[in-house]
Amino acid sequence: MRLNQSIVAANPFEKHLINRRRKKGKGMRSPQFTLMLTSMVDMFSMLVIFLLQTFSNSPEIAILKGMTLPNSVTPAIVREAPVLAIARDGNLYLDQKLVGKTGDIAKKPDVLLNKLNLIKKGWVSSHTAAFTGDINLQADREVDSTSVSMVMAILTSSQFQSIQLAVVGK
């Protein structure tokens, strides 16, 4: 209220100067910082896409339920490849689908070889690079080494030369 009283009490010239100062203030904006939200949203969406692509480059292998993998001191980077798993009960799984018992596969490996050939043909159609012969082999700790070596022999006879054993790094 004192400001209003001082304006009323001032002479006409002072009123003119005060009104002139007020009019100048209305035309000029006070210095404010504004954010361009559209640009910021674009930047954050590009950042999210970059992070998703970065973390999706390293493939992860789904471990068969109930399987305990052996430990290793020197784990390697996982490559994208089909997964063949040998469970402790002797069942053989190819990409989480039951193929049969290891004893039956040892006697008649044609079932496994046919499924592996289907994977090789499907690989060429779904990937840009040619099939490299990689496969990831998961074997439970309790599976005997003769079963693992028998499965590895079947894999190498079917042109799967690069066999990666799945282990748990310490």
**Which residues make Cβ contacts (< 8 Å) with residue 97, sequence separation at least 6?**
none
Determine the pLDDT at residue 71. Answer: 76
Window from 15-19, 25-29, 80-84 with minimum mean pLDDT: 25-29
| pLDDT, mean of residues 135-160 | 86
Whether the pLDDT of residue 134 is over 90: the answer is no
What is this structure's pTM? 0.59
Whether the pLDDT of residue 67 is over 80: the answer is no
Residue with the larger pLDDT of the pair 18 and 116: 116
* DSSP for 14-69, written as a single string: HHHHHHHHHHHHHHSPP------HHHHHHHHHHHHHHHHHHHHSS--PPPPTT--P
**Which residues make Cβ contacts (< 8 Å) with residue 18, sequence separation at least 6?**
7, 10
How does DSSP classify residue 128?
A: S
| pLDDT, mean of residues 127-154 | 84
